[in-house]
Structure 1
Amino acid sequence: MQNRNYLNNNNMQKGIALATCMAIVMGLFTGCGNKNDQQIAASPEEVQKGRYVETELSLPEEWKDKNISQIFRSGDELHFLVAGGSEGQTTLEEWKLGEGDTLTEVTKDWLKVLPEGKNLESSDSFTLLQDAEGNQYLYGNCYRDEENSSAHLWKEADGSALDITPQKWLEPMDMDGYRFYDTPQYVTMTEDGLLVGLSYFSLDVVLAQDGSLVSSQESDSLTDSGSLSDNKWVSAVGDTLYLAQADEQGNVNGLLQMQLDGSNGAKSKGEIPFSQDSYSSAYFSVLEDGTVYAADADGFFRCDAGDTNWQKLLQGIDTGFSLSDQWCRDIVALSDGSVYAWFGSESGDKIMIYRYDPDAVTEVTEELTLYTVEESFFLQQAAVQYHKQHPEVLIHVDAAISMTDKYSGNADYQQIYQDLNTSLTSGNGPDLMVMDHLKLDTYASKGLLFDLQEILQPMEEDGTLLSNITTAYEEADGRRYAVPLQFGLLLAVGRDVQPKEMSSMDAIAKAVSGKTESYLGDRTCGELVEEFYPLIVDDILQNRQVNCDTLRPWLEDLKKIADNCGILPSRKEGRAANIWDLGSDVKLVLQETDGFNQAMTPYAVAELLNANVVSVENAFYPKMVIGINSRSEHVETAKDFLRFALSEELQSVDTYEGFPVNAKALETQAAADRSMAEAYTTYDIDGSTVEFAIKSYSEETANHLTELCRAATLCLKEDTQIETSLTESLQAYLNGQASVEEAMDAVEGSLKMYLAE
């Protein structure tokens, strides 16, 4: 019997996820109940007094080496559960927030003695609960090993701790050969002394008095459509449970109200519709009177008791929820309308306060639009931080494709291109444009882009920027209409493959030629073209003609690789092999690696398999290639924003989207502590499943990656028309039914219309 381990990555809670499990993709909800129906923001011309303001709570010096384990409401006060100390000597403390935002310790004696003999650690997850009579209970997720349950429930009893953990949480279950314990991720207490625990599989109702199980039902049965939200949030007010519901993509689309019915569990009582426009997790807090507060990267919202409409209290860009370098853990609202948010970050815990200030005024006097085809954490971070430094300027990030559409494959890039053309030619275009997936040359030739040379050249000459990356879009006349804000490396990871055998496409072709064992695994024609065409896309056309000197050797190498792979007519199911198949199905994979944190996975796989990692042709993928609309009324502000987007301050944050083009930020990220990005899962090696830890790599590897970034010279660009032409023209050639000359003729014929534009 094997044990199931789930990926454990704190950065997933940022709404980044993750390289291994991030499928948090947000859709749109329309109609009554949409949380964006009501806005309180005034137009820039109006002076509006009174608004919510974000401030940070100063934490006590005593918390310096401790972690917040929980924030919660007790009565109508904000309380904290804090864990600290060394291994085996962990202490738990309860604190409350008083007048003047002062924090006072109010730990009961039983909690102080609890760690004795319990082997608690500060990394454990704890939830402190209290019934109507003031009796306290502590639930702990205290994972030690796969052979023992992680759940413990203690009750305050005569100044000491009594273990009343339900037997169900102590008994292992088996599913598809994996052992696991069905223990709650979240627990809450009702006013009737019932403890409700929600896990990935079930909703358990426990009698807090003795830990006996009152009822248990499958969590999937709690929703009529969709599933419970990924964060498994649960709260109880009176005898009503509130559960966050998600659609099939993981988007929160409703807040379920469930009636607790004794031994019968929970039954549907109602629903408050909810929607999300941004790529983020949503958090809720319910007051005793049924008023609900919600927060995500879209902003802060309130839904009054008995209502289903949400009122926006604060724009997301004015909150820490829009920042990518911190992630929310929970929010708590009080009856006076104040809301407290607990954020985690690499520098530790933060508590942000959101209060209504009747004298605060809206300061925005200038608004710009930053257009991007695909949603981006980095761009959102840039807009938020720039607004914090310049409250009078608001940068709206307008993403044509949500991450839902990006990962589902539903994006229509051609329609997006046409829509942007229409807005630009009508004079309603954005102020800044991220040119990824767009035809940069077309916009530049029409005079729609501002020359960035005056901004970039000084920053390159003084070493601020990695000129090997940022000069990729320099024209022959020295003009520059766009610059990548980040970039990715093309790495090859090979098992039983020497570095020199995968350092280039030609080397790969020679290495696999004549081998009976498939190195890359089967591919369709389109998959093979997609993987290798970026190596020649910038050189395939010359003087409006197909460059045969570039095309022919590329075709010959592609044929050798195709002969080793075996070309499928189509892929009806499954996917092409990737880094997760290197231990079993293939010997070589090409891996686009977007940043130091993301590089942890290929290097961890290489260490596990004793494989080699090399940079392929010193190639890099430009990311977030940004330009300024030359017709914008805010060119000077747009230029200042671009300088900020290229700054060390902003680029030092790793959002899993690329390496920084700022030289000092590259060094900062290389030396960063990546322990917060570590993850644990399983990996298949030749038919056996092993435990797999994606851990921080060595300083030597980090420095090596830095050198690869500085040495990158080949800019891998995309051109969907060239890719389509190659895919349509090469099926017969790669299957051995056409010669290389016939393949070249087919490519040239397919590109005629493109060449005529």
Structure 2
Amino acid sequence: MKRIFSILLFFSMAAALVSGCGNNKDNLGVGTSDIGGDINTTEENKNGDGTNGASGENNENTAMGRYVETAIDLSEYCIRTDSLTKYEDGTLVIPDYYNSPIVSRDNGETWEPEGTEWFTKLMKEDAYIMDMAYGPDGTAVVIYDKSDDNTDSEDDSNTDSEEDPAETKDSDNQDEESESEALGENETETDNSKEDEYRLDPVGFIVKPDGTQIPIQISVEEDDAYMRNVWVSDKGRIFVSTLGTNIYEIKEDGTAEKFLTIEDRTELIAFQGDLMIIDGSRFGDLILYDMEKKERVVDEVLNDFVSENYKERDVYNGSEFFDLYIFPGEEGVIYLAGKKGLHRHVIGGSTVEQIIDGSLSCFNNPSYSLHGMVTLPDNEFLALFGGGKLVRFTYNPDIPTVPNERVKVYSLEDNDTVRQAITIYQSNNPEVYVEYEVGLGEGNSITRDDALKKLNTQIMAGEGPDLLVLDDMPIDSYMSKGLLLDLSECLNSLNGENEIFESIKNAFKKDDKIYMIPCEIQLPMVQGDEKYISQMKDMKGIADAFEDLREDNEGKALVYACTEKGILGIFSMVCAPAWKTETGELNKESIEEFLLQCKRIYDAQMEGLPEKFLEDYELNNENLIAYYDTPRDNPDWIRSLDWFNYLSGKIQMVCGSLTDVNEYAEFRSIMRKKEFADDVYMPLDGQSKNIFIPKNLVGISAASNNIERTEELLKVLLGKENQSYLFKGMPVNKAALEGEFIIDEKYVSEEGIYSYIGASDQDGIMVDLEVYVLDENQQQELRDWIENVNMPYIVDTVLEEAVYKEGTKYLRGATSLDEAVKAIEQSVAIYMSE
């Protein structure tokens, strides 16, 4: 466990950007709750609003009955755990790749380790366990690689961080790896990893209940690379999936034969009697295969349900956690679990029944990754989530199916931090239903303007939300019209573990009132050779530094951005607050100065830029558009701190926004490398000083009919439990920030290293970085940095898009500076007058 693993990632041109994108960690702080769904429901969302027919008032017609949750923390035993198995005698077992398995013989009430000789031997041999599975009679099957040279080469980066306790940045590394794979230059997901994956030569064995060991003898086809995952059916048949499209069956004597060839890589196999249910990230429909008749089974009802609710199943999860998990129930029945909740389906039946409503359960918590689930007696269920969180679901017929009291939440974009807070709040307040509306939701084709018009209509009709996530909304208009509540009293009541930074509160004071507060923040920063960084005190100094850097670095990229909008997007975060006067009018002189200096920066960057760099950038851009429907020069992407290209020497400076404590530790660690001895970093200032970037900016409607409950939800959003895991930035909660400084000593080397990361690009360039624990001085520097910020950069979409559009023309020489500024002024004239 104390080993520090090297994770070899295949990056495109921007390895650092992927670490700043949505992560998916596991929050361990959920207790007993009364939340769930209707066990009798045969149609989902009858009213189209998640209410399943509940009126919202206490009356005799209120639907009754839902599942309640009880959470058990098994993190002490679970470092890297990917399954929950039930034996035919009812015994439950959770295997772990670094600890002895734990078992329960009382339906999950209590758990204890159960040592096995074969597992202890593997650990002594320093074997890297790739997968384990248990059969109904207790038979164990394990696949492992015992070569130290290969432990980091396999696609373990497609798994939870529990696989690598030393890599603590993301609790679920699938986000980082899926994006790095998606951004790959020349290869598909399978091909992109084949070169390194072939270095592995996994072996395996079967362990019978009496301890007898049987070696697995398998020879997979070349395109399959090697056996990767093992599955045991409810009748004891053993199957192995690979990196290719073949599935093999392992016989009693350990020999193997090819069993089935499918269209894509298998990541989940479930069984119901003789039926094998197969799924993978790239699958459309599930594959149902009758193992006795050796033919596929078509279930259109099931396929329609999956297509409607789980069409976009997560990619590169390493078969260890699942967006959609399938497990058997009574004869002929399967259960499907995921963010939509828990559903029951009779194979070949006409309905898919909702058992637990995802919006009212921990299934909807984005920080929970589902690893396994089983049925228990008395219609109970047990689910294992990442980080060793075990949740029991018990049906209670005496509580309303949907809580009668409501709080309405609205955001333009789906928001993981908000969803997490809603789950926490509902677990502590089971009598309250938090109704969450997303203006630009999944499958929603309306525009931002249309969504805002609809929202404004609701507000004017007295039907608006109680809590608003104000990102990308017309905040100034809402304040001027008196639509937002003063939060001062609520925020001042936060103390102890829920205290937030005073600097963040003060930054939003207006006439001694606070109408909004961010849930998380990012910090603009720059790092590079002190000779250049020391000049970067304002926009003119930044442009001077770029020109000097270009003079000393012919034929090299200075930063990663190499488009006009990319350069504008990087520096707008430290300049945009100056583009409007205190009275809200357009500051033309400031915009003119911004464009002037950005052109100097852009020209310095593009002068003599290698053609190969431009080609790689364009390919990276195409891949981003294909996978995420967003261009590379989108400001949120282009501001990511690019450690890979900086370490490899492809760029000479990193300039962007710092998103979390681990990223801060990475860049402080770079400065310890001999070749970066002259490095310095500092907060980035432009036309504005002491900038921070608020994310998930929230406010409460002044017209709310349930202010008390809404303030309770706001406190959860800002509380330590929710702030201990965030998706877009650093916590504004002081205690949560302190928690991020804490690293378990057993994962820290004598030299103070707690993580080792490495990367390779399509050109074969490899870099590595030892990440050191932050010392007290470094921790204090970050605290002081946050305590000293006072200027929030709040995105003004209309104004910024006008600046990007006309600024692009100016930077490429298509218009003059005066023409660009006049065009911006004309473009936003009506908007600025509203």
Q: TM-score range by the shorter chain?
A: 0.7 to 0.9
Q: Which residue of 2 aligns with 1:140?
A: 143
Residues in 2 aligned to 1:485 and 1:566: alpha-carbon distance in whole angstroms: 37
**2:368 maps to 1:321:** no
List aligned pairs for 1:632-647, cutoff 5 A.
632-647=704-719
> Which amino acid in the other structure matches residue 245 of structure 2?
S
Task: Report % sequence identity.
Answer: 20
What does residue range 482-501 of structure 1 map to in structure 2 within 5 Å? 482-494=516-528, 498-501=532-535
1:187 has 2:227 as partner: no
Task: Assess, with a 3 A threshold, how the Cα gap between structure 1 residues 34 and 621 changes in structure 2: closer, same or farther.
Answer: farther
Name the counterpart of 2:158: none
Asked if structure 2 preserves the Cα contact closer than 8 Å seen for 1:469 and 1:661, the reply is yes
Taking the aligned partners of 2:133 and 2:817, their CA distance within structure 1 comes to 71
Of 291, 309, 326, the match for 1:276: 309
Counterpart of 2:291? 260
Q: Deviations over 1:140-167 (max 9, x none)?
A: 3456432542442224397432322423
What letter is aligned with 1:354? F
1:433 offset after TM fit, Å?
0.4
Partner of 1:75: 88
Q: Relative to structure 1, is the Cα distance of residues 698 and 293 closer, same or farther in structure 2, using a 3 angstrom cutoff?
A: same
Quick check: 1:509 aligned with 2:550? no
Structure 2 residue aligned with 1:690: 766
- Of 464-473 and 623-632, deviating more is 464-473
Using the TM superposition, give the Cα deviation of residue 690 of structure 1 relative to its aligned residue in structure 2, in angstroms: 1.9
Residue number in structure 2 paired with 1:11: none
Query: How far off its partner does 1:404 sit?
Result: 8.6
Q: What amino acid is the match of 1:51?
A: R
Give the corresponding residue for 2:134.
129
Give the equivalent residue in structure 2 for 1:659. Answer: 730
* Residues 1:705 and 2:745 aligned together: no
- Please report the TM-score for the alignment, with normalisation by the length of structure 2: 0.73
The amino acid that maps onto 1:489 is: L
Distance 1:490 1:561 in 2: 17
Cα distance 1:458–1:21, how it changes in 2: closer, same or farther (>3 A)?
Answer: closer
Which gives a bigger RCO, structure 1 or 2 (Cα 8 Å, sep 6+)?
2
In 2: Cα distance, 1:664 partner to 1:588 partner: 32
**In 2, distance between residues paired with 1:548 and 1:471?**
28
Distance 2:21 2:769 in 1: 12
Deviates most, 571-580 or 203-212: 571-580
Deviations 1:380-425 (A, max 9, x none): 12112122222222222222345898xxxx8832232222222222
Matched with 2:390 is 351
Identify the match of residue 471 of structure 1 among 493, 503, 506.
Answer: 506
Separation of aligned partners in 2, 1:557 and 1:551: 10
Note the C-alpha offset of 1:432: 0.8
- Pairing of 1:18-167 with structure 2 (within 5 A): 19=20, 42-44=54-56, 45-46=58-59, 47-56=62-71, 70-75=83-88, 77-83=90-96, 92-93=100-101, 95-98=103-106, 101=109, 111-113=116-118, 115-116=120-121, 119=124, 124=129, 126-130=131-135, 134=137, 136-142=139-145, 144-146=148-150, 147-156=199-208, 159-167=211-219
The separation in 1 between residues aligned to 2:651 and 2:20, in whole angstroms, is: 21
SS of alignment partner, residue 832 of structure 2: helix
Instruction: Give 3-state SS (helix, strand or coil) of 1:368's partner.
Output: strand
Q: 1:456, 1:426 → 2: CA distance?
A: 28
Alpha carbons of structure 1 residues 593 and 196: separation in structure 2 relative to 1, 3 Å: same
Give how far 1:6 is off: 5.9
1:225-249 deviation per Cα after TM superposition (whole angstroms, max 9, x unaligned): xx86xxx2211233321123556xx
Residue 482 of structure 2 aligns to a residue whose secondary structure is coil
Paired position in structure 2 for 1:14: none
Please point out which of 574, 581, 605 is paired with 2:645.
581
2:769 and 2:260 map into 1 onto residues whose CA distance is 33
Equivalent residue in structure 2 for 1:209, among 252, 256, 265: 252
1:451 alignment partner, SS class = coil
* Paired position in structure 1 for 2:276: 241
1:96·1:106 contact (CA, 8 Å) conserved in 2? no
How has the CA–CA distance of structure 1 residues 317 and 592 changed in structure 2, closer, same or farther, with 3 Å as cutoff?
same
Greater strand content: 1
Instruction: Provide the C-alpha distance between the structure 2 equivalents of 1:399 and 1:717, rounded to a whole number of angstroms.
Output: 20
- Asked if the contact 1:497/1:587 (under 8 Å) is kept, the reply is no
Equivalent residue in structure 2 for 1:449, among 460, 465, 484: 484
Whether the 8 Å CA contact 1:81–1:92 is kept in 2: the answer is: no
Work out whether residues 806 and 824 of structure 2, in 8 Å CA contact, stay in contact via their aligned partners in 1: yes
Call closer, same or farther: CA 1:51–1:168 in 2, change over 3 Å.
same
Distance change (3 Å), C-alpha of 1:421 and 1:741: same
Match of 2:465 among 414, 430, 433: 430
Change (3 A) 1:295 1:744: same
Mapped to 2, the partners of 1:756 and 1:118 lie a distance apart of 69
Q: Deviations over 1:571-605 (max 9, x none)?
A: 97534576143335322232323222454665566
The match for 2:344 is 302
Q: 1:41 and 1:699 mapped to 2: Cα distance? A: 56
Of 573, 585, 590, the match for 1:534: 573
State the one-letter code of the partner of 1:52: Y
Q: Is the 8 A contact 1:246 1:254 kept in 2?
A: no
Residue type matched to 1:212 in 2?
T
Q: Distance in 1 between matches of 2:8 and 2:289?
A: 28
Contact between 1:443 and 1:449, CA under 8 Å: does it hold in 2?
yes
Task: Look up the equivalent residue of 1:139 and give its one-letter code.
Answer: V
Deviations 1:514-544 (A, max 9, x none): 6254412553332222222232322212246
Change (3 A) 1:753 1:43: closer
Contact 1:202 1:216 in 2 (8 A): no
CA RMSD of aligned residues (A): 4.3
The one-letter code sitting in structure 2 at the alignment partner of 1:344 is G
Deviates more, 1:67-76 or 1:460-469: 460-469
The residue number in structure 2 matching 1:389 is 428
- Residues 184, 198 of structure 1: 8 Å contact kept: yes
After superposition, the Cα gap between the structure-2 partners of 1:521 and 1:83, relative to the gap in structure 1 and judged at 3 Å, is closer
Kindly indicate whether residue 372 of structure 2 is the aligned counterpart of residue 330 of structure 1: yes
Distance 2:109 2:433 in 1: 30
Deviation, structure 1 residue 492: 2.2
One of 365, 385, 399 as aligned partner of 2:438:
399
Residue 142 and residue 329 in structure 1: after superposition, are their counterparts in 2 closer, same or farther (change >3 A)? farther
Question: Which among 327, 337, 357 is matched to residue 285 of structure 1?
Answer: 327
Aligned 8 A contact 1:238 1:288 in 2: no
Instruction: Measure how far apart 1:451 and its partner are.
Output: 1.9
Measure, in 2, the Cα distance between the counterparts of 1:156 and 1:243. 26
Cα distance in 1 for residues equivalent to 2:575 and 2:79: 53
Q: Structure 1 residues 58, 631: CA separation in 2 closer, same or farther (over 3 Å shift)?
A: closer
Separation (CA, whole Å) in 2 of partners of 1:204 and 1:500: 59
Give CA-to-partner distance per residue, 1:492-524, whole Å, 9 cap, x none.
Answer: 243786542445543321111262544125533
Contact 2:230–2:238 (CA under 8 A) maintained in structure 1: no
Any conservation in 2 of the 1:671–1:702 contact (CA below 8 Å)?
no
Residue 436 of structure 1: how far off its partner (Å): 0.2
* Alignment partner of 1:562 out of 592, 602, 626: 602
